[in-house]
Amino acid sequence: SRSLNLAVIPGDGIGQEVVAEGLKVLSAVLPQDVKLETKEFDFGARRYHATGETLTDADLDALKGHDAILLGAIGDPSVPSGVLERGFLLKLRFAFDHHVNLRPSKLLPGVATPLAGQPEIDFVVVREGTEGPYTGNGGTIRKGTEHEVATEVSVNTAYGVERVVRDAFARAQARPRKKLTLVHKNNVLTFAGHLWTNIFNKVAEEFPEVTTDYIHVDAATIYLVTDPARFDVIVTDNLFGDIITDLAAAVSGGIGVAASGNINPSGAFPSMFEPVHGSAPDIAGQGKADPTATVLSVALLLRHLGYEAEAARIEDAVSTDLGERGGLPARSTSEIGDALAVRVAG
Amino acid sequence: SRSLNLAVIPGDGIGQEVVAEGLKVLSAVLPQDVKLETKEFDFGARRYHATGETLTDADLDALKGHDAILLGAIGDPSVPSGVLERGFLLKLRFAFDHHVNLRPSKLLPGVATPLAGQPEIDFVVVREGTEGPYTGNGGTIRKGTEHEVATEVSVNTAYGVERVVRDAFARAQARPRKKLTLVHKNNVLTFAGHLWTNIFNKVAEEFPEVTTDYIHVDAATIYLVTDPARFDVIVTDNLFGDIITDLAAAVSGGIGVAASGNINPSGAFPSMFEPVHGSAPDIAGQGKADPTATVLSVALLLRHLGYEAEAARIEDAVSTDLGERGGLPARSTSEIGDALAVRVAG
Ligand SMILES: CC(C)[C@H](C(=O)O)[C@@H](O)C(=O)O
Ligand SMILES: CC(C)[C@H](C(=O)O)[C@@H](O)C(=O)O
């Protein structure tokens, strides 16, 4: 009999509520012979206030043994900006070398979009997760004075760029349209831009069936609202990926349905799956949060671990559920979770 | 009698066509007693191919003597990416210390937007123009090898941030809603983020009437498509400003109507006004380009030089023109210019 050994990090705000529904759907979809074991970790604002710790070496060791990690949300207004982001979320992505940050955008039937004319949207952003301006390189001199200088260094390596670009090409190759777009700003950020562009062009030779193009990040935001159907797979750097995936989520139904995976394709460390949304403290504890993004993150988690049929069953359930509920009164967090659990159970 | 001594840089692609219409409208709107003198400069791809030069010290000296600069567009696919951007556009912004990059977004009546429900859009982005990741700091080692490392350094100074933040507060103060939003990514780019946030909060004390808030750049892209009416004035760094102003242009009628000013408020060097769009080589020379963005840039130029009534007359003319032409067949570049010239002449 098989087993799925999951680390669960509910986190802050609505994290607890949405993760509960994600686990409910996971239990319902898993084949009988798979033994699901979950271990909950209490990371986030509460832990930080109680101990001053965000993510210790011992924590990382404890997480390491799992097949994957499911995270709800981390972040609270009571903690200064950057402490939990750098001290937990980014620390985990870097420690476990989550270099493929996978963010699919699909406008499902019945889902509202701010764009006129309900365009077709079905693309995936492969965001680099361990380099770029996210490395924490940089510093400040003469802090707080009128002569302060603060720098942020974007670090880009051939090693880091090539592996994520190759991953994106493979994903494009596996999709019907087989199209990959590089998004960067190589006309201004010429050092990093040339590295990305050269490696992209080099790896392209290994994937002759994949159609490629290049767009500057500023222009990409225009296409995302005027012609999102032009995109199939996008590969981009850590910061550009952060920005365009929020926009992508907004146009394809909002962050209530946007899932993501922080993936280490080598399997050397567990990959981590989380909704794109944050902890939304304003609605926490009220049963108002939409667990759909977490449920879809569970689907990405299952696909990553080889449970393709189960992943597809979750995505179909979400699609049917959203299609049928259009125009109906809003449901509570657990009502949505229950409905999805029933659907995937079959 | 007064004089207006203008440097004109038509540039590449559609630049020539749209600048001609901008000048047509400028001539029509200027009071009789103002003597308009224009000097044309042949910068861009042609000059680069002929001489290898983009913008020399002598060029900068020649431009210096003018009251302002009107630019069409610079850029051509025949020139490697980055050469004209870094060698001309950014060189000029940096040499003339154009630290206030002003980009208004207003959805005018009759103008199509990709957003559903024709939302109200009327905000201004004050983008820093001389710092951030645009400084050209950074470099490459082991170029072209599998061990290549490329860096890009975002440089932020108290001096540079404070002057643009203060400019933005003054602009917010002068508008009816008096609201200023700082857009950054201070939870990840903590060095630069703290500098921006601290200075923003400090300068806010001098403007007690201005309401302030802060949004991460990724979330800002969401609001720009779901609730653009929430914005009045935005202040942000050079790269974030580049990205969100293209999105802002897209949602408020497209880059055909997006104007910008690269402003040195001290007047030590001439400010430069240009449409946000590029040289669009695919439609160049066909009379298809919409000169409206250039005409609106002329309005910004006039306002900067103190011709407030004339600037407003151009903006009113554009507004009326767009309102009346909705649904009518497309007009040529010069037909639009002619129509606007007639309107402003009154
Ligand atoms: C919370 C923050 C550190 C994070 C990021 O910038 O990557 C978030 O915006 C995301 O997109 O996952
Ligand atoms: C062409 C390029 C250098 C420029 C920029 O990045 O600033 C353009 O995108 C703009 O917004 O004016």
Q: DSSP string of B62-98?
A: HHHTSSEEEEEE---TTS-TTHHIIIIIHHHHHHTT-
Specify the pLDDT at position A37.
97
Nearest to A69 by CA among A271, A278, A310, A314: A271
pLDDT band at B325 (very low <50, low <70, confident <90, very high): confident
Q: What is the mean pLDDT of chain B?
A: 96
The CA A205 to ligand 1 mean position distance, Å, reads 32
**Is B152 in CB contact (< 8 Å) with chain A?**
yes
Q: CB distance B148–A154 less than 8 Å?
A: no
Please check the confidence at residue B58 and state whether its pLDDT lies above 80: yes
Task: Compute the distance between CA of residue A263 and CA of residue A205 in angstroms, rounded to an integer.
Answer: 25
Residue A119's closest chain B neighbor by CA? Answer: B114
Of B134, B148, B156, the CB nearest to A195: B148
Considering only residues 51 to 110 of chain B, which have any Cβ-Cβ distance to chain A shorter than 8 Å? 81-82, 85-86, 90
Other residues' Cβ atoms within 10 Å of the Cβ of residue A225: 24
Largest CA distance in chain A: 65
Residue reference for tokens 């390491």? A64
* φ, ψ for residue B312, nearest 5 deg: -65, -35
The CA B242 to ligand 2 mean position distance, Å, reads 6
Instruction: Name which of A149, A183, A198, A223 to mutate to probe chain B: the one with the most chain B Cβ atoms within 10 A of its Cβ.
Output: A149
Mutate to test the pocket of ligand 2, among B71, B74, B89 (most ligand atoms within 8 A of CB): B89
Mutate to test the pocket of ligand 1, among A242, A274, A279, A294 (most ligand atoms within 8 A of CB): A242
**A122 to chain B, closest Cα gap in Å:** 18
The contacts of residue B262 (CB under 8 Å, 6+ apart) are B92, B93, B96, B98, B100, B101, B102, B129, B271, B272, B273, B274
Q: What stretches in chain A show pLDDT beneath 50?
A: none
Catalytic residues of B: 134, 185, 218, 242, 246
Task: Compute the distance between CA of residue B276 and CA of residue B245 in angstroms, rounded to an integer.
Answer: 9
0.95 exceeded by pTM? yes
Nearest to A302 by CA among A1, A4, A2, A20: A4
Task: Compute the distance between CA of residue B122 and CA of residue B108 in angstroms, rounded to an integer.
Answer: 9
Q: Is A202 annotated as catalytic? A: no
Task: Compute the distance between CA of residue A295 and CA of residue A338 in angstroms, rounded to an integer.
Answer: 11
Instruction: Write down the catalytic residue from A59, A76, A167, A242.
Output: A242
Considering only residues 241 to 300 of chain B, which have any Cβ-Cβ distance to chain A shorter than 8 Å? 242-247, 249-251, 254-255
CATH number belonging to the domain at A1-100+265-341, selected among 3.40.718.10, 3.30.465.10, 3.50.4.10, 3.40.50.300: 3.40.718.10
Q: Which residues does residue B285 pair with via DSSP β-bridges, in sequence order? A: none
The count of CB pairs under 8 A between chains A and B is 213
Burial class (CB in 10 A: 0-12, 13-18, 19+), B147: exposed
Residue A248's closest chain B neighbor by CA? Answer: B222
As a whole-number percent, the residues of chain B with pLDDT over 70 amount to 100
**Residue B242: its chain A contacts at CB < 8 A?**
185, 188, 218
User: Under a CB-based contact definition with an 8 Å cutoff, are residues A184 and A236 in contact?
Assistant: yes
Specify the pLDDT at position B1.
74
Specify the pLDDT at position B326.
75
The CA A245 to ligand 1 mean position distance, Å, reads 10
Domain B113-252 of CATH type 3.40.50.970: no
Specify the pLDDT at position B56.
98
Specify the pLDDT at position A327.
75
Specify the pLDDT at position A326.
76
Residues in chain B: 346
pLDDT tens track for B150-191 = 999 999 999 999 999 999 999 999 999 999 999 999 999 999
Under DSSP, the state recorded for B326 is T
pLDDT tens track for B257-288 = 999 999 999 999 999 999 999 999 999 999 99
* φ, ψ for residue B69, nearest 5 deg: -125, 135
Provide the 3-class DSSP secondary structure of residue A21.
helix
Task: Compute the distance between CA of residue A14 and CA of residue A288 in angstroms, rounded to an integer.
Answer: 9
Specify the pLDDT at position B116.
94
Task: Compute the distance between CA of residue A333 and CA of residue B5 in angstroms, rounded to an integer.
Answer: 65
Considering only residues 297 to 316 of chain A, which have any Cβ-Cβ distance to chain B shorter than 8 Å? none
Instruction: Write down the catalytic residue from A24, A134, A167, A237.
Output: A134
Rounded alpha-carbon distances, angstroms, from residue A224 to A143, B15, B176 = 39, 26, 32
Under DSSP, the state recorded for B121 is -
**Residue B193: its chain A contacts at CB < 8 A?**
81-82
pLDDT tens track for B153-164 = 999 999 999 999
Q: Is A134 annotated as catalytic? A: yes
User: Under a CB-based contact definition with an 8 Å cutoff, are residues A335 and A291 in contact?
Assistant: no
Q: Is A218 annotated as catalytic? A: yes
Q: Which is the closest atom of ligand 1 to the Cα of A246?
A: 11
Where in chain B do CATH 3.40.718.10 domains reside? Answer: 1-99+265-346, 113-252
Tell me the average pLDDT across B102-122. Answer: 93
Q: Which residues does residue A273 pair with via DSSP β-bridges, in sequence order? A: A70, A261
Residue B194's closest chain A neighbor by CA? Answer: A150
Q: Is A321 annotated as a binding residue?
A: no
**Residue A187: its chain B contacts at CB < 8 A?**
81-82, 85-86
Q: Which fold has domain B1-99+265-346?
A: Isopropylmalate Dehydrogenase (3.40.718)
The contacts of residue B244 (CB under 8 Å, 6+ apart) are A221, B125, B183, B217, B220, B221, B224, B234, B236
Q: CB distance A247–B225 less than 8 Å?
A: yes
Specify the pLDDT at position A110.
85
User: Under a CB-based contact definition with an 8 Å cutoff, are residues A93 and A130 in contact?
Assistant: yes
The answer, yes or no, to whether any atom of ligand 2 lies below 6 A from the CB of B85, is: yes
pLDDT tens track for B2-19 = 999 999 999 999 999 999
Instruction: Name which of A84, A85, A203, A247 to mutate to probe chain B: the one with the most chain B Cβ atoms within 10 A of its Cβ.
Output: A247
Where in chain A do CATH 3.40.718.10 domains reside? Answer: 1-100+265-341, 113-252
Q: CB distance A221–B239 less than 8 Å?
A: no
The answer, yes or no, to whether any atom of ligand 2 lies below 6 A from the CB of B242, is: yes
Specify the pLDDT at position B65.
94
Q: What is the DSSP string of B233-276?
A: EEEE-HHHHHHHHHHHHHHTT-GGG-EEEEE-TT-SS-EEEEES
